[in-house]
Structure 1
Amino acid sequence: MNAPSMNARPWARTARWVRWYLRELTGESEYDRYCERHRRRHPHAPPPSRREYEVLRTHHRENHPQSRCC
Structure 2
Amino acid sequence: MTAVSGVRRVVDWVRWYVREVSGESVYDRYVAHARAHDPEAKVMSRGEFERDRMDAREADPRKGFRCC
- TM-score range (shorter-chain normalised) is 0.7 to 0.9
2:3 to 7, 10, 19: 7
Aligned partners of 1:46, 1:14: CA distance in 2, in Å? 36
Superposition misfits of 4+ residues, deviation over 3 angstroms: none
% identical equivalent positions: 42
What amino acid maps onto 2:23 in structure 1? G
TM-score by length of 1: 0.78
Ranked by relative contact order (alpha carbons within 8 Å, sequence separation 6 or more), the top structure is: 1
SS at match of 1:47: coil
TM-score by length of 2: 0.80
Aligned partners of 1:58, 1:7: CA distance in 2, in Å? 42
Matches within 5 A, 1:9-24: 9-24=5-20
Aligned partners of 2:42, 2:13: CA distance in 1, in Å? 30
Which has the larger Rg? 1
What amino acid maps onto 1:14 in structure 2? V
**Structure 2 unaligned blocks of 5 or more:** none
State the Cα RMSD in Å.
Answer: 2.0
- Equivalent residue pairs, number: 66
Higher helix share: 1
